[in-house]
Every structure is written in structure tokens, then in C-alpha cells.
């Protein structure tokens, strides 16, 4: 046995798969139990991973078990509660008697947990048996079915075993004389062999073909006649290809300089920030850096904030790195994550991993470089469930543990990173021009107060924006419209009595979804029908307020009936396929106007977009968050960056009622430095990051009184230690989630003081609180460096 191997351990009548953390012969101060079985012959988790997990657990103040849960795919960490299902049409001929008993214990159930399978089958070590059933492909881990993520099955075809002799073959062809397509398909199996000796036929029967879809009717006929057999086969989902990869593009001068500067800075700095305007060619710089590292035999991890971004960049990296590139995401099916995990442990791991935040948890045998693209993105931070880690910051630590370097890239860096670069902790490299030398888009402001005053708009579109759309369509270019909201309108309000429907569980307004005729809670998923009359006063005037992407689509299609319009938001992109479809039809020019939320602002590269319209910049600016201005600047700059990427300067029309605000001015002049300076002044004045570190302490309880009392107790105890650095308790933006009341206490600690010491003090305060009987059932969780 050695560190990193999996073992099955009993805990209160249940079995769990655990990881060996340390081998020692010290006497523990608790009762020890024997290990039920050792699963692995080789470690499943590397020492370096364990070390990294410990850092995450310590820094983000959570149990290391939470990190293990987030890091390891379900199949590798089977436990009594794991849900499994039988695979349809699986081949059970090779099962051992025990395996068969467990398999048969499913009966007609679709899925059962392992504990119950053990009970029903009477097989004691069901966990181990399920593991071998998994490896034989007879059962699978039950996952929430997400369309587009199902295991990939394809229909394969072979010659029927009934075709034993040359005679059989000849007869078959005779009977197909008038069925041209059928005999064509059948001959696919036989052409390569001249003589149909019996041996040759056996050989042919081993051959499998994947028929073209246009042959589905003749195929069915041949199967019915007993000449061919067909069967579904689960495909390896990992990309393989024999295609030759292509060389990278040659650099322009700016890229060559940036590349050299980055390499030079890596000699003295662990982390370098690449600040390059939108379409300056950062991705191309990444590709050259990755090539260098891969050539030296080491691995590269490329992090992206969200899966929505991966398609375009995957294509670009795939062109250069072919099957040396692996793509990883926590929402991939478990079986696919296991395949990648095991490949990274094998002798031929992927040299480049492109993934969302959870890919920092993969095994890396020889990491040489980490790239964090769009490093400013808040979604690098996992909010729920624990571990509430920030993948960008954790990646920097991972990289240092592997003695390698990190490159952060963005057109709009976070204040934290830019500050680190200014103070010399990070190296800084800038690219100020677009790759194609085209100027950045011209941004026009439309003052909606003014337009409303002159009655020049219908509440959504200004006359300026409509004219710009008309012009873009006439020139056969494309348009992106951005609205930072989803749903038909954010909420429903009765004009007669002011009533607003709220979620019973979460205390937030429900969102209207016209397409589903429903009201939904975006936090817990609670849904009810759209009411015809106000539940409070009975008025039938209950109507929509504000506007979301769906309403924009409706109105727009009335104004431009000939335009092809698509909408991209969380509702239209529940699946990966849906997302890819929208993007590729926009890329192919099949869509004229793309309406969307944040999603359309992300680093997508379209060639024919001449106009970007921002429908309402105000709701970005008025968000109750100390980062609102920074985020608004980033969002507006990023979405503007989608305009005019190839050859021609783009145009941005920005509608706002606060045209004179500082941030809007900074966006128009693309003045990141000004935004940085003014925001840093505010952060310092109000004691926010990067001058102070924030830790949120969240208290949860079903009983509001208990939650309040615990929060008050906790806040007072914290004040005794941290004095003025404690704020609250207060209600977080959503004060009740899934029937638990939440109170939040904010702790601000000087960035220069010891972080570890503060956390240790905080821990002892919370242990003290939980030691009281009345607070025993209180849940307390920390959010370190919240975003």
C-alpha cells in the first residue's frame, strides 16, 4: 500500500472509498477500524495533488473531504450511497456469479444505491463488485441526465454469423439483385477479400463498420433478412485523430515582442499578466508558449472561466495540438472524466489540458505552464458548494508547487491582478493594438433620459440604435445586442396593488418566463404558473415590468420581420449542443442579430459583426456591489470588443440614463488606467480588496430566531478579537435559501497582516459558538475572498 491509493473504509454501517493520505505507526487517539479492502495497485491520487488539496482546504477553510468530493469523479470514489443503473443491452455473458447476482438485484429499477444493491443481492462486498461491473460497462453511475452529455453510442454493423460459407454469400447477393443500395452495403464487407473461404468469412465477421446515415433504410432491410447484424457501441469520448496538425500562425511584431517579454519575465517572476486589448492576438501568443513547453516534454494547463468559451478555443488549439489536447469540465459525464483522469495518470497523458475551473484538480505528472485566460472573470470563483475556491488564485499556487510559471491573460484585468503587476509581484506585458491593426470600436452614448423626453423611443430601442441596426442589416453585416438580464422581464408586479410574487423558499422575486408561461426562482428552481389575475387584489392588470432578452427578441422581430434573430441566454443554452448550435449558426451567417446576456460578451471571435448594442448600461452600474464599477467596465469593454474584428472598425451604441458617469467615460475612451486609479482610490477609502481581504462568515439555520441569535453572538465574539474590522450581521442579497435563514458577517483584514493567524482566530471563535447547546445545529461556513 502507498499514499494516494484508494481503500474502502467502513463508517457507521456504510462504506466509503477513501484515499490513503499518510502511512505511519503512531498510535491515534481514536478507535481504529480495519480497512475493508484496498482498491488500487497504483495511486489514483498523486502526492502533489494531496498537497494542493490541503492548501485549498486550509486557505478556503473547509474540510479536505470537500476538496476530495469536488476533485474526484464519482466512479473513482464509490460509496454506499452512490447511485448506479444497469446499462441497456449490456453484454452480461462474462459476469462472475457474484457480479450476476448484483446485476440481477436491479430487477426493474432504473437506479439503486450500492447499499441497497448489497441488501437485495446478499453480496457483502457490493462496492467492489459494482466497481468491476463498471469496468465491464454493464452498469453506470447515475447522473442527472443532461442532454448533450449522454454517453456516446454509435450503431456498428458486422456481417451476420449466419453467413458461414461462400455459398451463403452468393445466395445473398442473388436475392439482392434488384436492391442496389442493399447489395452495395453488403459488398462493403466483402470487397477487400477475393475468395470467400470460410476462414476469410470468419475474419470478415470480426470487422465492424459505421454506416453512413443515408444507408439506414437498406441497413435495416439487410438486418431483417439476417445478412448483417447491428448493435450500439459505447464510444470512447476522448478525441483521437490521425489528422496532421498544422503549424501555428506567424507572429506580427507586437506578438513577437509580447512573447519575448513574457519569456524574459518568467526568468524572475512566477506569474506574468498579459494585458492585451480585445483581438490583440493573445490566444496566438498562448499557442506559441504552449508549443515551447510541450516541446520540452512538460504539460500545460489552460484554464477558461466557463464552458461556453471552450468551443472556439478548442478548435484553435486542436488545429495545432491535435490529440495531445484534452478538454475537461466538471459537467462532463462521469465516465468521460474518469477516462481523462486515468489518462493523466498513465504513461501517455495529455500534454495540454483545456478546461474550466475544476481541471486544476486533475493529476499532473509534469506540469510546465499554467495559462488563465480571461483572468478577471468572477466565475473562476466557486460559490456553492464548498470548497469556495478561486481557480485563478489556486492555479497560481498549483503552479508554484510544480515549480512552473503562470500566465494570466485579459483585456480588462481584475484590479487585484493589475495591482499585483504594478507592485512588482507579477510581471506585466501589454498589447495595445488589435492584431489586424484596425482601431478599437467607436462607442456612441445614447442618453435615454433625453430620448424618452423627446418620445423618440419605445422604451427599449433608441432611434439611434434602430437606425444603426437598419444600416448594419442593409450592409449585410451582423449585430449583437446585449442585455444584462434574462427572462421576459425580471419580475411581475401588479400595477394596482404593487404585489410582487416571491419565492417561498428563498425570499427573492420570481422571474417571468413567457415561453413556459411560468414564474421561476433562479436560486432554487421553484416554478409556478403565470397568474392570470393578481393573487392579492384580483386585478387582471398584473403585467410585465422592465425588459429581458425574450421581450427584446419579440419586439425586434416585429420591427425587423425580415431579419433572422437568435437569442442566447441561460434559457436557450441549457445544453452544450444548444449553445454550439447558436454560435455556429451565427458564425456561419445564418443569423443576423444575436441577442444575449453576459454570454455574448465572452471572448468570442466573430468576423462579420459591425455593430454591438448595449440596451441598458444602468443596471450594470447600479448593482449593489463594491465591484460594480469594475465589473461594468469589464463587461462593457468586453462586449464592445465583439464589434469590428476583421478589417473594419466596429461601432458600439450604448444606451444609458447616466451618460455622465465616470465609468461610462472610461469605457468610451478605453481608459483602463483611469478606471484602475479611480477604483483603487475608492477601494482604499472604503477598505476593500486589494487593500483588505474579505471573509464572509455565513450562519444558516431553519429557525430565524436561532439564526439571528447565533449571528449576533458570533459578531460580538468576533468584535472582541477583530474590533472595527467586523461588519454586520446583515442579510446577504438572498437572505433565505432552501428554507434556511442566512445571516452574514463580514470580516475585513489588512492585506498586509497575517491571513493564517486571522483564520485561526476565526476558527476558535466559531468553535466556541458551536459549543453552546442552543447553537449546536447552526451551520457556519466561510467564504474567503468572495467575489
Contacting positions for ligand ADP (CB under 6 A): 249-252, 255, 276, 278-284, 435, 603, 605
Asked if 534 interacts with Zn ion (CB under 5 A), we say yes
Nearer to ligand ADP, 252 or 330 (CB): 252
Q: How many CA atoms lie within 13 A of 319 on its CB side?
A: 13
Q: Is 505 in the site for Zn ion (CB under 5 A)?
A: yes
CB 151 within 8 A of CB 139: no
DSSP-derived secondary structure letter, 181: H
User: What's the min distance (Å) between Cβ of 69 and Zn ion?
Assistant: 24
Q: What is the 3-state secondary structure (H, E, C) of 250-307?
A: CCCHHHHHHHHHHHHHHCCCCEEEEEECCCCCHHHHHHHHHHHHHHCCCEEEEECCCH
**197 C-beta neighbours (distance < 10 Å), count:** 12
> Within 13 Å of residue 659, how many CA atoms lie on the same side as its CB?
12
98 versus 638: smaller Cβ distance to ligand ADP:
638
| Residue given cell 501568443 in the structure block | 285
Cβ proximity to ligand ADP, 356 vs 680, nearer residue: 356
Q: Which is nearer to Zn ion, 116 or 779 (CB)?
A: 779
**Which of the stretches 81-89, 506-514, 671-679, 765-773 binds Zn ion when contact is defined by CB under 5 A?**
506-514
The yes or no reply on residue 497 touching Zn ion (CB under 5 A) is: yes
CB-nearer residue toward ligand ADP: 270 or 605: 605
Find which of Zn ion, ligand ADP, none residue 697 binds, CB within 5 to 8 Å per kind: none
Residue 272 CA to residue 251 CA, distance in Å, equals 20
Among the listed ranges 234-242, 280-288, 517-525, 584-592, the one in contact with Zn ion (CB under 5 A) is 517-525
Q: How many helices (DSSP H) and strands (DSSP E) are in the chain?
A: 25, 31
- Return the H-helix or E-strand segment holding 341: helix 334-345
Shortest CB 313 distance to ligand ADP, Å: 8
Peptide bond into 385 cis (omega under 30): yes
- Per partner kind, with CB cut-offs from 5 to 8 A, the member of Zn ion, ligand ADP, none near residue 217 is none
Rounded to a whole number of angstroms, the minimum distance from the CB of residue 443 to ligand ADP is: 18
Each residue 451-490 as x (binds Zn ion by CB under 5 A) or -, in order, gives ----------------------------------------
* Least gap, CB of 393 to Zn ion (angstroms): 30
- Pick from ligand ADP, Zn ion, none: which does 554 bind, CB < 5 to 8 A by kind? none
State the cell numbers at 290.
Answer: 504552449
Q: Do 542 and 494 meet the contact criterion of CB atoms below 8 Å apart?
A: yes
| Contact of residue 281 among ligand ADP, Zn ion, none (CB under 5-8 Å per partner type) | ligand ADP
The DSSP letter of residue 773 is G
Contacts with 24 (C-beta within 8 Å, 6 or more apart), sequence order: none
Q: How far is the CB of 461 from ligand ADP (least distance, A)?
A: 29
CB of 627 to Zn ion, least distance (A): 25
Of 325, 396, 465, the closest CA to residue 52 belongs to 396
Nearer to ligand ADP, 480 or 615 (CB): 480
- Is 81 within 8 Å of 779 (Cβ atoms)? no
Q: Quick check: 396 and 360 in contact, CB under 8 A?
A: no
Cβ atoms of 586 and 566 within 8 Å: the answer is yes
Which partner, ligand ADP, Zn ion, none, binds residue 341 by CB below 5 to 8 Å per kind? none
Counting every residue, how long is the chain? 787
User: Which CB, 433 or 502, lies closer to ligand ADP?
Assistant: 433
CB of 316 to ligand ADP, least distance (A): 7
Selected binder of Zn ion within 156, 215, 523, 623 (CB under 5 A): 523
Q: What share of the chain is helix, strand, coil (3-state, %, to 5)?
A: 40, 20, 40
Q: Does 519 bind Zn ion (CB under 5 A)?
A: no
The residue among 259, 680, 666 whose CA lies nearest residue 431 is 259
Which does residue 435 touch among ligand ADP, Zn ion, none (CB within 5 to 8 A, set by kind)? ligand ADP
Residue 524 interacts, among Zn ion, ligand ADP, none and using kind-specific CB cut-offs from 5 to 8 Å, with Zn ion
- In this structure, what C-alpha cell is assigned to residue 571? 434559457
Binding-site member from 115, 248, 249, 536 for Zn ion (CB under 5 A): 536
The verdict on 524 binding Zn ion (CB under 5 A) reads: yes
Q: How far apart (Å, rounded) are the C-alpha atoms in residues 579 and 307?
A: 10
- The CB-of-506 to Zn ion minimum distance in angstroms stands at 3
First-residue to last-residue Cα distance in the chain = 42
Contacted entry of ligand ADP, Zn ion, none for residue 251, CB cut-off 5 to 8 Å set by kind = ligand ADP
Between CA 357 and CA 370 the distance in angstroms is 12
Q: Considering the complex, state which of residue 44 and residue 278 has its C-beta at the smaller distance from ligand ADP.
A: 278
- Pick what 255 binds: Zn ion, ligand ADP, none; C-beta below 5 to 8 Å, kind-dependent: ligand ADP
Give the separation between CA 356 and CA 306, rounded to whole angstroms: 6
Q: Which is nearer to ligand ADP, 278 or 462 (CB)?
A: 278
What is the Cα 759 distance to its own chain's centre?
Answer: 29
- Residue 527 as a binder of Zn ion (CB under 5 A): the answer is no
Minimum CB separation from ligand ADP for residue 31, in Å? Answer: 57
The binder of 430, among ligand ADP, Zn ion, none, by C-beta within 5 to 8 A per type, is none
Is the peptide bond between 650 and the residue preceding it cis, with omega within 30 degrees of 0?
A: no
How crowded is residue 739: how many other Cβ atoms within 10 Å of its Cβ?
10
Number of residues that bind Zn ion (CB under 5 A): 15
526 counts as binding Zn ion under rule CB under 5 A: yes
- Candidate segments 175-183, 388-396, 491-499, 654-662, binder of Zn ion by CB under 5 A: 491-499
Under rule CB under 5 A, residue 499 binds Zn ion: yes
Enumerate binding residues for Zn ion (CB under 5 A).
494, 496-497, 499, 503, 505-506, 521, 523-524, 526, 534, 536-537, 539
Amino acid at each position: 500500500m502507498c499514499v494516494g491509493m484508494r481503500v474502502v473504509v467502513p463508517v457507521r454501517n456504510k462504506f466509503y472509498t477513501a484515499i490513503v493520505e499518510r502511512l505511519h505507526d503512531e498510535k491515534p487517539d481514536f478507535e481504529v477500524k480495519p480497512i475493508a479492502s484496498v482498491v488500487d495497485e497504483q495511486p489514483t491520487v498523486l502526492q502533489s495533488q494531496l498537497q494542493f488539496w490541503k492548501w485549498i482546504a486550509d486557505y478556503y477553510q473547509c474540510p479536505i473531504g470537500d476538496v476530495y468530493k469536488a476533485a474526484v469523479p464519482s466512479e473513482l470514489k464509490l460509496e454506499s450511497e452512490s447511485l448506479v443503473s444497469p446499462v441497456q443491452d449490456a453484454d452480461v455473458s462474462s459476469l462472475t456469479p457474484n457480479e450476476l447476482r448484483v446485476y440481477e438485484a436491479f430487477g426493474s429499477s432504473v437506479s439503486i444505491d450500492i447499499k441497497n444493491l448489497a441488501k437485495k443481492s446478499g453480496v457483502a462486498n457490493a462496492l467492489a463488485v459494482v466497481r468491476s461491473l463498471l469496468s465491464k460497462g454493464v452498469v453506470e453511475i447515475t447522473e442527472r441526465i443532461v442532454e448533450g452529455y449522454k454517453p456516446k453510442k454509435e450503431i456498428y454493423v458486422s456481417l451476420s454469423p449466419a453467413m458461414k460459407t461462400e455459398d451463403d454469400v452468393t445466395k445473398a447477393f442473388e436475392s439482392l439483385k434488384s436492391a442496389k443500395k442493399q447489395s452495395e452495403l453488403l459488398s462493403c464487407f466483402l470487397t477487400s477479400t477475393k475468395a470467400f473461404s470460410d476462414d476469410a468469412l470468419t475474419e470478415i465477421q470480426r470487422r465492424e463498420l459505421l454506416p453512413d446515415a443515408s444507408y439506414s433504410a437498406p441497413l435495416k432491410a439487410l438486418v431483417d433478412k439476417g445478412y448483417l447484424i447491428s448493435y450500439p457501441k459505447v464510444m470512447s469520448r476522448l478525441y483521437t485523430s490521425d489528422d496532421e496538425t498544422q503549424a501555428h500562425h506567424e507572429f506580427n511584431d507586437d506578438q513577437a515582442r509580447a512573447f519575448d517579454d513574457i519569456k524574459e519575465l518568467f526568468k524572475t517572476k512566477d506569474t506574468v499578466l498579459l494585458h492585451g486589448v480585445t483581438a490583440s492576438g493573445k490566444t496566438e501568443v498562448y499557442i506559441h508558449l504552449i508549443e515551447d513547453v510541450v516541446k520540452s516534454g512538460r504539460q500545460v494547463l489552460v484554464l477558461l472561466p466557463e464552458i461556453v468559451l471552450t468551443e472556439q478555443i478548442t478548435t484553435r488549439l486542436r488545429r495545432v495540438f491535435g490529440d495531445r489536447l484534452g478538454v475537461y469540465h466538471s459537467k462532463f459525464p462521469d465516465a468521460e472524466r474518469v477516462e481523462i483522469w486515468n489518462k493523466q495518470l498513465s504513461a501517455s497523458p495529455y500534454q495540454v489540458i483545456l478546461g474550466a475551473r475544476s481541471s486544476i484538480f486533475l493529476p499532473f505528472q509534469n506540469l510546465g505552464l499554467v495559462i488563465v485566460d480571461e483572468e478577471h472573470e468572477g466565475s473562476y470563483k466557486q460559490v456553492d458548494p464548498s470548497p469556495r475556491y478561486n481557480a485563478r488564485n489556486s492555479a497560481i499556487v498549483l503552479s508554484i508547487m510544480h515549480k512552473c510559471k503562470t500566465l494570466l491573460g485579459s483585456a480588462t484585468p481584475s484590479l487585484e491582478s493589475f495591482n499585483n503587476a504594478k507592485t512588482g509581484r507579477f510581471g506585466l506585458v501589454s498589447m495595445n493594438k488589435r492584431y489586424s491593426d484596425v482601431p478599437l470600436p467607436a462607442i456612441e452614448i445614447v442618453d435615454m433620459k433625453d430620448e424618452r423626453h423627446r418620445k423618440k423611443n419605445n422604451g427599449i430601442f433608441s432611434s439611434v440604435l434602430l437606425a444603426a441596426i437598419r444600416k448594419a442589416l442593409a450592409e449585410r453585416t451582423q449585430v449583437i445586442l446585449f442585455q444584462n438580464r434574462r427572462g421576459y422581464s425580471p419580475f411581475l408586479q401588479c400595477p394596482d396593488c404593487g404585489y410582487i410574487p416571491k419565492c417561498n423558499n428563498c425570499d427573492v422575486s420570481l422571474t417571468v418566463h413567457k415561453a413556459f408561461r411560468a414564474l421561476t426562482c433562479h436560486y432554487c428552481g421553484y416554478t409556478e404558473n403565470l397568474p392570470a389575475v393578481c393573487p392579492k387584489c384580483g386585478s387582471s392588470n398584473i403585467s410585465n415590468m422592465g425588459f429581458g432578452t425574450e421581450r427584446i427578441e419579440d419586439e425586434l422581430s416585429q420591427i425587423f420581420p425580415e431579419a433572422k434573430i437568435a437569442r442566447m441566454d441561460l434559457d436557450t443554452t441549457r445544453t452544450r449542443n444548444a449553445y454550439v448550435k447558436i454560435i455556429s449558426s451565427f458564425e456561419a451567417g445564418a443569423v443576423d442579430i444575436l441577442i444575449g446576456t453576459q454570454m455574448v460578451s465572452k471572448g468570442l471571435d466573430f468576423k462579420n459583426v459591425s455593430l454591438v448594442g448595449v440596451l441598458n448600461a444602468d443596471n450594470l452600474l447600479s448593482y449593489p456591489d463594491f465591484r460594480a464599477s469594475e465589473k461594468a467596465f469589464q463587461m462593457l469593454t468586453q462586449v464592445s470588443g465583439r464589434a469590428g474584428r476583421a478589417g473594419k472598425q466596429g461601432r458600439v451604441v450604448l444606451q444609458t440614463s447616466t451618460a455622465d458617469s465616470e465609468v461610462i467615460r472610461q469605457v468610451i475612451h478605453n481608459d483602463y488606467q483611469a478606471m484602475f486609479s479611480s477604483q483603487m482610490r475608492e477601494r482604499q477609502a472604503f477598505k476593500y480588496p486589494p487593500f483588505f481581504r474579505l471573509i464572509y462568515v455565513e450562519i444558516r439555520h431553519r429557525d430565524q430566531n436561532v439564526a439571528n441569535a447565533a449571528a449576533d453572538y458570533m459578531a460580538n465574539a468576533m468584535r472582541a478579537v477583530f474590533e472595527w474590522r467586523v461588519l454586520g450581521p446583515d442579510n446577504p442579497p438572498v437572505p433565505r435559501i432552501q428554507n434556511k435563514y442566512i445571516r452574514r458577517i463580514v470580516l475585513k483584514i489588512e492585506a498586509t497582516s497575517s491571513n493564517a493567524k486571522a483564520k485561526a482566530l476565526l476558527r476558535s471563535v466559531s468553535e466556541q459558538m458551536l459549543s453552546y447547546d442552543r447553537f449546536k445545529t447552526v451551520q457556519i461556513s466561510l467564504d474567503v475572498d468572495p467575489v
